[in-house]
Amino acid sequence: MNQTRLPFIRFNNPQFTKLLIANAISRFGDSIDMIAFAWLIYTITNSASWSAVIVGVNQFVSVIFQPFVGSIVENRNKKKVMVYTDLMRFITIFIFFISNKAGMEQPILFVCFTAMVSFIETFRIPAGISVLPYLLKEEDYDKGISTNNAISKGLELIGMLLAGTVITWVGASGAILLDGITFLISALLIATIQYHNISISQQNKAANYIQMTIEGMKFLWTQKSLLLICVICGLINASVIPFDSLQAAYINLYFEEKVQVLSAISIAISLGMLFGAAVYQKFTRIHNNSSILSAGGMTIGFYYIAAFFITKINGSSLWNGIFLRVLLIIIASFIVGVALAFMNNYVQIYFIKEVKQEFLSRISSISTTITTALSPITAFAVGILAAVLETSVIFLLCGFLTAIEFLVLSCALKRVSCFEK
């Protein structure tokens, strides 16, 4: 029991603890923003297609810029990159808040805001990953990443519990501004982190960023296990895009107490991820790791199928109607949250262990591009489908496609030894 409750305290690592707190505070704001922004888009546009387009823009920006950003971050102080990007996200959100309060509610404003935040995050993500080896010993990677994910999920859960109340009190745009304030706090915390910044070789300093990116691609190509994981993660990311795009429309069409149900689903997913992060280490000691990604993908597929059949529950009594519908979608959301946590922990730990420290920033960026390459295509396709099909039908189609896809993948992975690590 003590091992689960106090893992990060035994690091005796105040610098990593600062990063933990900064990440957790940021995730707290993100959790409120996620619900508020999705709801604001749908209530203003009243269009599932617009929601899907905005998700697609977010992914598209990442795919375009991510391959080259890692090489830039690699030759920079990781702490400064994180501080500057958090400050820029705060400024961007503040400008969006002012614009929204001034009555600028055109969908193009949401598109521009999403594109800008996504562009900034292409710098923040590789910096946040590549700084970990400076703060943690190799033997602490598993414990550190699991602890970071668990604590961040805990604060995310609190944010989702409060999201409905915050949106009611200050409005959706005010809730989004709160997320911006958490970025400001995160920047101030990270600015106090101290670590030994390993000097970069003169050869690397003089290297052309494009050349460094090509070198990173060549390295990744030689690491077949890493490349295969990137492809699998790309399929997983694409599989969750329909829900990210259509969740507000789904809730609005099939549930009462709409914002509260949207918040409850997010809470259930976060609880599942929190539970998954807490038990991940114990699970991987007694089970084969090779099944984590394929089983997680199939779980996502079954989640979509369940979401479709839940909408077919009718009746006015307690157990035949709305209550049962809400209860079942919450249970399904918790289960898919556990699966997402397992996949997330597995991939993060695998990458940090297998990629050399000097390559981590650029490989992180290149791999992110691979893992998100299908996402904008999926989002735009979902936007087109949303104009002609019911949301529940789209979920059913996505569910069968995803479940079959990962069932086939599961059979193929049994022959691949690299996933036994």
pTM for the model stands at: 0.69
Judged against a pLDDT cut of 60, whether residue 392 lies above it is answered with yes
With residues binned 3-state (H G I as helix, E B as strand, rest as coil), the percentages for the chain, rounded to 5, are 85, 0, 15
Band (pLDDT 50/70/90 cuts) for residue 187 is: very high
Contacts of 398 (CB under 8 A, 6+ apart): 239, 242, 301, 304
CB contact at 8 A, 419 and 289: yes
Say if CB 190 and CB 18 are below 8 A apart: yes
Letter for the amino acid at 9? Answer: I
Taking phi first (over 0 means left), then psi (-120 to 50 degrees means alpha), and beta for anything else, what does residue 193 get?
beta
What mean pLDDT comes out for the span 349-378? 76
337 neighbors 268 (Cβ within 8 angstroms): yes
Average model confidence (pLDDT) across the chain:
80
327 in Cβ contact with 381 (< 8 Å): no
Per the document, the length of the chain is 421
- Kindly tell me if the per-residue pLDDT of 410 is higher than 80: no
Of 11-20, 40-49, 327-336, 369-378, give the range with the top mean pLDDT: 327-336
SS3 of 240-254: the string is HHHHHHHHHHHHHHH
pLDDT computed for residue 288 by the predictor: 55
330: confidence class by pLDDT, cuts 50, 70, 90:
very high
Measured between alpha carbons, how far is 94 from 322 in angstroms, rounded to an integer? 38
* Nearest by Cα to 390 from 290, 240, 281, 246: 246
In this predicted model, what pLDDT tens digit does every residue of 202-254 receive, in sequence order? Answer: 444 445 666 766 777 777 787 777 788 888 888 888 888 888 888 888 888 88
Domains present along the chain, CATH in parentheses: 7-420 (1.20.1250.20)
8 vs 183 pLDDT, higher one? 183
Q: Which residue has the higher pLDDT, 81 or 154?
A: 81
pLDDT band of residue 271 (cuts 50, 70, 90) is confident
Q: How confident is the model at residue 7 (pLDDT cuts 50, 70, 90)?
A: very low
Give the Cα separation of 248 and 194 in Å (integer): 42
Residue 111 C-alpha from the chain's centroid: 19
- The kind and range of the H/E element at 76 are none
Q: pLDDT tens digits, residue range 23-35?
A: 889 888 888 888 8
